[in-house]
């Protein structure tokens, strides 16, 4: 055995002895409609090594800005101004949490221009058109379009999650190789913050990384009818017409209530209580008699509908709290 061969063999043995850091995943599930929705992120953030937020259609410029924010080279106020976020938005809160943390930020989501974004745009087009049909009195047509939207959007999320899962492995490995602080760690804690619809991704990651854990901002997790329908479609479960029909009345109600209070959990619980006993025939009747006349930011016909059922649509936080007691 030559001297050169012995040295090469020794170097190979040394490399084999060097163990790569263990990657452990934690997924935080939350709504992402208001700053309050991601308060839990502030508690978890100091304990992690890499942060991967949900962001479809992200751009390299946005990622660079987040990394600069983490290093303290840009401020939350600068990013709010640049990207048009108000101080009460979830991204504004996220900027505050990331600022000067020195945490590496990654995206595993679909980047801008990804071919799957066409599916996203098409599905959202169906969503908007279904509302137009509903308010034009074409209830059955609206219902079918809503069903088509749910199916297509569920397909989009499933395909998107597979890409996220693939990107997680490659992008984390690349980051670790180029970051000496991470490379020397025995364990690297990676935090993903995702919308509550993505619980299937936890199941998928758990199979390959048994140490993966999940946490929810609020339990029990409450979904609007749209979110519940999408989840059911993702898991190949039946999506009933009644569930689809409730989407048409929950959307304007949600937009009204979230202007009153920034607590999505309370808003969703109030919606659930208000719409629990509304039938398919009642929503069909609403569609066929719809008028666009407004009253206090809501369709007048919707206000009258709930008044006739003895339900007062809340106008203040106090009224929301009273409804939930």
> Is the domain of 35 the same as that of 177?
yes
Q: Is residue 244 part of a domain?
A: yes
> Is the domain of 244 the same as that of 208?
no
Which of 176, 201, 216 terminates a domain? The answer is: 216
> Is the domain of 63 the same as that of 192?
yes
Count of domains observed in the chain: 2
> Is the domain of 305 the same as that of 189?
no
Q: Is residue 12 part of a domain?
A: no
> Is the domain of 189 the same as that of 84?
yes
Q: Is residue 176 part of a domain?
A: yes
Q: What is the CATH number of the domain that holds 186?
A: 3.40.50
Which of 159, 182, 216 terminates a domain? The answer is: 216
> Is the domain of 59 the same as that of 169?
yes
Q: How many residues does the chain have?
A: 325
> Is the domain of 189 the same as that of 276?
no
Position 174 pLDDT exceeds 80: yes
> Is the domain of 103 the same as that of 42?
yes
Residue 10: predicted pLDDT? 59
Residue 29: predicted pLDDT? 94
Residue 208: predicted pLDDT? 85
Q: Is residue 231 part of a domain?
A: no
Q: Is residue 224 part of a domain?
A: no
Q: Is residue 50 part of a domain?
A: yes
pLDDT confidence of 183, banded at 50, 70, 90? confident
> Is the domain of 211 the same as that of 246?
no
Q: Is residue 127 part of a domain?
A: no
Q: Is residue 129 part of a domain?
A: no
- Let me know: does 28 contact 180? Beta carbons within 8 Å: no
Position 306 pLDDT exceeds 90: yes
Q: What is the extent of the structural domain holding 273?
A: 240-324
> Is the domain of 211 the same as that of 244?
no
pLDDT in tens, 217-276: 888 888 999 999 999 999 999 999 999 999 999 999 999 999 999 889 999 999 999 999
Position 142 pLDDT exceeds 80: yes
> Is the domain of 203 the same as that of 280?
no
pLDDT confidence of 15, banded at 50, 70, 90? very low
Position 16 pLDDT exceeds 50: no
> Is the domain of 247 the same as that of 204?
no
pLDDT in tens, 68-117: 999 999 999 999 999 999 988 999 999 999 999 999 999 999 999 999 99
Q: Whole-number mean pLDDT of the chain? A: 92
């Amino acid at each position: 055995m030559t001297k050169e061969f012995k040295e090469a063999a020794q170097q190979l043995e040394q490399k084999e002895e060097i163990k790569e850091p263990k990657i452990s995943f934690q997924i935080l599930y939350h709504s992402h409609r208001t700053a309050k929705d991601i308060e839990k992120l502030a508690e978890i953030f100091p304990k992690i090594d890499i942060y991967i937020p949900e962001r479809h259609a992200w751009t390299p410029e946005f990622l660079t800005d987040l990394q600069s924010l983490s290093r303290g080279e840009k401020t939350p106020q600068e990013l709010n101004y640049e990207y048009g976020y108000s101080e009460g938005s979830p991204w504004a809160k996220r900027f505050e949490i990331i600022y000067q943390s020195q945490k590496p930020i990654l995206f595993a989501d679909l980047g801008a221009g990804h071919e799957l974004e066409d599916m996203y745009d098409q599905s959202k087009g169906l969503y908007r058109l279904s509302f137009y049909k509903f308010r034009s009195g074409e209830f059955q047509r609206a219902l079918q379009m809503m069903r088509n939207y749910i199916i297509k959007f569920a397909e989009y999320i499933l395909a998107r999650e597979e890409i996220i899962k693939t990107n997680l492995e490659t992008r984390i490995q690349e980051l670790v190789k180029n970051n000496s602080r991470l490379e020397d760690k025995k364990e690297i804690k990676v935090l993903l913050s995702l919308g509550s619809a993505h619980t299937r991704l936890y199941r998928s990651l758990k199979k390959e990384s048994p140490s993966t854990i999940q946490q929810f901002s609020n339990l029990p997790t409450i979904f609007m009818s749209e979110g519940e329908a999408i989840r059911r479609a993702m898991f190949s479960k039946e999506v009933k017409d009644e569930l689809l029909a409730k989407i048409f009345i929950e959307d304007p109600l949600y937009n009204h209530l979230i202007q009153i209070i920034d607590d999505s959990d309370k808003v969703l619980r109030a919606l659930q209580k208000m719409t629990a006993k509304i039938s398919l025939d009642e929503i069909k009747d609403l569609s066929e008699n719809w008028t666009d006349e407004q009253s206090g930011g809501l369709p007048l016909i919707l206000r009258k509908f709930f008044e006739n059922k003895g339900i007062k649509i809340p106008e203040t936080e106090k009224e929301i709290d009273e409804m939930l007691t």
